[in-house]
Chain A
Amino acid sequence: MTQIHVTTTVNCDEVEFLADPRETLLDCLRDKLGMTGAKEGCGTGDCGACSVTVDGRLVCSCLVLGVEAQGKTIETVEGIADGEKLHPLQRKFIQHAALQCGICTPGILVAAKALLAQNPDPTEEEVRYWLAGNLCRCTGYDKIIRAVLDAAVEMREGV
């Protein structure tokens, strides 16, 4: 197979990898760059566990080819915290017990961060619809929604 050389920026670092054009961005992040924070729950864009942003736009990395990442800017769950300092969403998720098994958590954090970037004061309904593509089977979503709304308050108040 002919592999294609890809140069891209992931969480502020420039990285390079060789990708078979059949491989998804998720495959490349996990298997070539060792960034296993994004998870594959379905491979068909139905569960959101592989959520990342590409040039600021929220996508499922299982529905993007690795070769499409050329020249793009990608952010993953590994880039949410500022070094050792957790992002408010991360702190609120722990505080509210918004994760049980934790497999959907990376994708939900990436998606929630994208939501708050464009809508700092969402309603409960807006959070629920924005996150409808992020399946969670453990929590019934209650504590997730509360954690996102609480993080939004903290981020608005700039605490």
Chain B
Amino acid sequence: MPLDTKTTGFKYIGTRPDRPDGIDKVTGKARYGADAYAPGMLHGVMVRSPHAHAKIKNIDASKALALKGVKAVVTRADFPTGLEGEDWNIQENCMAGEVALYDGHAVAAVAATSLLLAREAAKLIEVDYEVLPHVTDVDEAMKPGAPAIRAGAADYSVPEGLHPNVMRYIEYGHGDLEAGFAAADLVMENTYKTEATHQGYIEPHACLAQLGADGKGEMWVCTQGHWFVRRMSAAALGIDVANLRVTPSEIGGGFGGKTTVFIEPVALALSRKAGKPVKMVMTRSEVLRATGPTSSSSIDVKMGMKKDGTMTAAKVTMRMQGGAFPMAPIDSALDCAFSCYNIPAVHHEGYDVLANRPKQAAYRAPGSPMAAFATESLVDEMCRALKLDPLKTRLQNASREGTKASFGPTFPRIGLVETLEAAIAHPHYAAPLGPNQGRGVASGYWMNWGGETSVSAALGEDGSVTVSVGTPDIGGSRASMALMAAEALGIPYENVRVNIADTGSLGVNEPTHGSRATYASGLATIEAVKQISTKLCQRAADKWGIPVEAVIWEDGSAKPSGPNAGEFPPLTIGELAAEMGGTGGPISGHFEATPSGHGGSFGTHIVDVEVDPETGYTSVLRYTVVQDAGKAIHPAYVEGQFQGGAAQGIGWALNEEYIYGADGRLQNTVFLDYRIPVASDLPMIDTVIVEVPNPGHPYGVRGVGETGITPPLPAVANAVHAAAGVRLRSLPMSPPRILAAIKAKG
């Protein structure tokens, strides 16, 4: 795909205009998932397993159905059978079949005329369970004797002799590992563990669903990707995708957690059975118990380094549990583990393991933060041992254009070196520290994504333009799309309106995930609006009676250009649009593709912490994010992505964790105990936007959303070590763990 590229001389790109949806969102008018109402609407409530692992022997809903106003109860019996692969996994996760696989697993649902009544009815549904042995820890789940959660479900990749909970096995690498370690002056090897965390979006999942007996349905839902919702829900219910129209609401955060379905197929099934629209809204504890937190992980890393800091060899083994279903992100975790470095010999090994926990979902750079915690902590330990500067050592080994990546291919133009140089030059890196304070640094990577993308643009009669994209706006992407359209057409930003289209209005779009929205929908927006300017040039050429080759588009106008063009005053987009009905009809542009030129983004973070030696309490004093954005379309929202990723990473490093009791039940199901950072926990988060243009985007955009969550885990661990003299190799670094380490050191 030849792209008309431009990396300098922008008029709109790089400015910070108000976002188009700003007023709706500061006045309470914006409509989110739970803000929809329909005539005759019922309320749906789920019945969930109180056991980590239990056979469902019988479900008796008679008492619930006897209540006046209760309109339908569904169980797995109301869903089609015979699904395979991931379709089956999703159906099984949305509504348990024979066995409840984790605490909170849905086993039935009820719809009633009010929410209070539905909640009352749900309590009256009697489920007879036979409790089975359970396992929630990844290392325990691989041990002989651990209960097999789905025996026989392992795929082709798993070698014989492993526990049946191992679903997938991966192994790859290059170079001579033994020779690499032999050439090193220092070889270190350690084991690291990370606990599961949750995306923690503030808006619980919500949908309003209607499905008729004829299989035709509609749904309003908060999601990162409504085509995904359509495909998954249709598969789970056995209906045609075209018969289900899904409209995305405004979305109150997702971070990967809203790229799949949980309540949506169930709401549709209730609606089909009751013959009325059904609204379902999760409670916070349902969100924490039964949506898609991250994997937890257990990681072995070994590295060899010469005295001068040259890395000679590296090996990583990752064990990740992704709940009671396969597809823990071992693949991306391994690919990111050593991606920052040019190491002659690398080897990767990964185990995807089942445990009695909810099915993991994507969370901002899935897998990469865990891998970085292990490898970037070890790099820091080795730099300490060899008395090397941690940033300069990273720079010395940094991946750059032409480096053979740890995961195989050769890197195109990338920006790690530039972020490291900017971090070294940043005043933060040389600022003085007080007692009990320490500084940590780390780098991180995310490969980003293109994905299926379809965008339409339509010219209005006054010269304004409507752009319809299929990627929900979670963090200001309407503004970015409008800036790119304005830039490409040479019209004011305010003259572009960006809508998020429903599934009935565009071809298939992947979700706003993989840091792809600004890259892929942006690229498609630029190409779509260029079709408008091309058509407008034709209209002008017709009017002037000159060949279209002699007309150029510039500053929002068609202009004659070249020796044979003749002298005509420019025709503005407004003038041409006013006449379009009589000059050939409506004008629109459309572009669809699966663009593959997404460029990876590297980041380097610097953090200062202070550790209270008597309590193990860690406060974050100063934080700086340096990251390559390729080109920042709307810099304020790029900074926002950097800051948000850092904050989530800090939470993961210090206090966030899934805590399971001996009974296999989740113990911290409210925000009081699932401790995400609050405003008073954090300092201002400084940002440095590095711009190494991505050749795969017309304006050089790289995705920026995910990389920022990767460096904080090791950066904070490295800072804690510097401040308190103790190395924490398990997350979170909660005060009891830090204090215990300080006491153990003596």
Contact = CB atoms under 8 A, between A and B. Distances in A.
Q: Do chains A and B touch in the complex (CB under 8 A)?
A: yes
B640 interface: yes
Contacts of B677: 140-141
A61 B604 CA distance: 41
User: Which of A40, A43, A101, A124 has the largest count of B CB atoms less than 10 A from its CB?
Assistant: A101
5 smallest beta-carbon distances between A and B, as pairs: A37-B28, A103-B252, A140-B647, A102-B25, A97-B636
A101 B676 contact: no
Contact of B636 (A22, A42, A101, A143): A143
Nearest to B252: A103
A139 B252 contact: no
B475 A100 contact: yes
Contacts of A136: 202, 679
Contacts of A39: 32, 34, 202-203, 252
10 contacts: A37-B28, A47-B202, A78-B27, A97-B634, A101-B203, A132-B680, A136-B679, A138-B644, A140-B685, A145-B684
Nearest to A77: B28
Contacts, number: 185
Interface string A77-108: 11011000010001001111101111111100
Interface string A8-41: 0000000000001011000100100011111111
User: Which of A102, A133, A144 has the largest count of B CB atoms less than 10 A from its CB?
Assistant: A102
Contacts of A105: 25-26
Nearest to B473: A101
Interface in A32-72: 34-44, 46-47, 49
B23 A86 contact: yes
Given A42-B670, A135-B202, A140 B28 contact: no
B16 A129 contact: no
Contacts of B201: 101, 103, 137
A137 B253 contact: yes
Given A41-B671, A94-B22, A142-B685, 9 more contacts: A1-B116, A46-B671, A97-B476, A97-B636, A102-B252, A103-B201, A105-B25, A135-B200, A137-B199
User: Which of B115, B199, B284, B644 has the largest count of A CB atoms less than 10 A from its CB?
Assistant: B644
B22 A37 contact: no
A86 B35 contact: no
A109 interface: yes
B671 A103 contact: no
Interface of B, helix, strand, loop or mixed by DSSP? loop
Contacts of B204: 40-41
A40 to B, nearest CB: 7
Given A37-B29, A81-B27, A96 B202 contact: no
A1 B250 CA distance: 34
B643 interface: yes
Given A101-B474, A139-B640, A46 B250 contact: no
Nearest to B24: A102
B116 A141 contact: no
A83 B47 CA distance: 44
B251 interface: yes
Nearest to B31: A36
A129 to B, nearest CB: 5
Given A103-B202, A137-B255, A41 B685 contact: no
Interface in A127-158: 127-129, 131-146
A100 B644 contact: yes
A126 B513 CA distance: 36
B317 interface: no
A44 B684 contact: no
Interface residues of B, number: 58
A53 to B, nearest CB: 14
Given A41-B284, A137-B253, A97 B640 contact: yes
Nearest to A34: B37
B744 interface: no
A46 B287 CA distance: 14
A131 B18 contact: no
User: Which of A1, A23, A94, A145 has the largest count of B CB atoms less than 10 A from its CB?
Assistant: A94
B471 interface: no
A94 B637 CA distance: 11
A122 to B, nearest CB: 12
A31 to B, nearest CB: 8
Contacts of A141: 647, 677, 679, 682
B678 A135 contact: yes
B644 A106 contact: no
Contacts of A38: 28
Contact of A97 (B16, B23, B283, B676): B16
User: Which of A77, A124, A139 has the largest count of B CB atoms less than 10 A from its CB?
Assistant: A139
Nearest to B288: A42
Contacts of A129: 679-680
Interface of B: 16, 18-19, 21-23, 25-32, 34-35, 37, 115-116, 199-204, 250-255, 281, 283-284, 474-476, 634, 636-637, 639-640, 643-644, 646-648, 670-672, 676-680, 682, 684-685
B119 to A, nearest CB: 9
Interface of A, helix, strand, loop or mixed by DSSP? loop
Nearest to A35: B28
Contact of B676 (A86, A100, A137): A137
Given A102-B250, A133-B678, A141-B679, A96 B26 contact: no
A13 to B, nearest CB: 15
Nearest to B32: A103
Contacts of A131: 679-680
Contacts of B116: 1, 20, 22-23
Nearest to A100: B475
Given A23-B116, A97-B16, A138-B644, A47 B671 contact: yes
A136 B679 CA distance: 8
A109 B23 CA distance: 13
A135 B671 contact: yes
Contact of A99 (B25, B32, B34, B647): B25
Given A35-B28, A142-B685, A42 B253 contact: no
A83 to B, nearest CB: 11
Contacts of A140: 640, 643-644, 646-647, 677, 682, 685
A139 to B, nearest CB: 6
Contacts of A101: 201-203, 250-254, 474-475
A23 B16 CA distance: 43
Contact of B202 (A80, A90, A137): A137
B205 to A, nearest CB: 12
Given A41-B203, A44-B284, A109-B26, A36 B35 contact: yes
B14 to A, nearest CB: 14
B679 A44 contact: no
A134 B671 CA distance: 11
A95 B18 contact: yes
Contacts of A95: 18
A146 to B, nearest CB: 8
A86 B684 contact: no
A93 B35 contact: no
Contacts of A142: 643, 682, 684-685
Nearest to B255: A137
A127 B21 CA distance: 26
A38 B26 CA distance: 11
B28 A76 contact: yes
Contacts of A46: 284, 670-672
A103 B679 contact: no
A13 B323 CA distance: 50
B494 to A, nearest CB: 14
A99 B680 CA distance: 18
